[in-house]
Amino acid sequence: MGGGNPGLRFFLGTHQPDWLARTAVPLFVSHRRLAHRKTLPRAAGMWALDSGGFTELSMHGEWRTEPAAYLTAVRRFSDEIGNLAWAAPMDWMCEPWIVQNTGLSVAEHQRRTVANFLHLRHSAPDLPIVPVLQGWELGDYQRCADLYEKAGIDLAAEPVVGLGSVCRRQATGEAALIVAALADRSLKLHGFGFKTLGLRLAGHRLASADSLAWSFEARRKPPLPGHTHKNCANCLPYALAWRTRLLGSLPVWHQPTLDGLPEAA
């Protein structure tokens, strides 16, 4: 096996915004965890913002956050927290249960995803809002990419293109096929919610990925020795140790460095 993707950047998902000031490893934090805070931490390292769309659509069957309010929040986070690598748009996930919850079609979710990205970028071109591809089957994702291209967005020129609605089947051949087909369009893909199996299958075709799987794992285990909390589901030492194990377990031919950046030449 040759080539690989030694520059894969891994964002550690967290429910704890204070970690932004406590570690320099790349973090992935939801807008829903930050939006109502009066004070914000100053980031010690790079981080990316999740829009919280899965939760919002699951709870309400629609977006109740207004685009203007979201942009105001992103600008505040960028200014006050600093080191914001990119922010997801207010996209519409396409898992069957989400589509059933909204009562809309996959095609309409895709149309709204693209329209929201265009609106956000037009309204705030200085903010690092990135496009996200949504769909369920491979053809859906290809059509979503075509929608962006028809709207004048050169996805291959974008620094990041998010790949949504794949995380719950990332360990399948279908997910790997979707990643490969979109990477063949020269897209620098970010895999939302990719865990060990998904990264082993498709990590070499991703530019970056994030995961909160460590927290779900920790809920089912006793706390680390000497830790007094019930479990380590919100524990930074546990999360960092999990991250080190994850990255160390990836095949050498696309193993990232521990800080998520390529090795120096």
Question: Which CATH number goes with the domain that contains 148?
Answer: 3.20.20.105
262 domain-assigned: no
Question: Is there a domain that residue 140 lies in?
Answer: yes
pLDDT given at position 171: 65
Contact present, 204 and 173 (Cβ < 8 Å): no
- Residues of the chain with pLDDT below 70 are 1-6, 170-171, 252-265
List the domain range (segments joined by +) for residue 71.
Answer: 9-254
pTM of this structure: 0.90
Q: Is residue 84 part of a domain?
A: yes
Q: For residue 264, what are the contacts with CB-CB under 8 A and spacing of at least 6?
A: none
Residue 260 placed within a domain: no
Examine residue 1 and state whether it is found in any structural domain, yes or no.
Answer: no
238 touches 213 (CB < 8 A): no
Cross-strand bridge partners of residue 86: 48
Mean pLDDT of the residues in the chain: 90
Count of structural domains, the chain? 1
- Hey, how many other C-beta atoms are within 10 angstroms of the C-beta on 118? 17
In a domain, 3, yes or no: no
- What is the identity of the amino acid at 141? Y
Nearest in space to 78 (alpha carbons), one of 119, 113, 29, 116? 29
What pLDDT is stored for residue 252 in this prediction?
A: 62
Sheet with 189-191, strands from edge to edge, namely 84-87, 47-50, 27-30, 9-14, 208-211, 189-191, 161-163, 132-133
In a domain, 213, yes or no: yes
Contact 176, 136 (CB under 8 A): no
H or E stretch at 175: helix 173-183
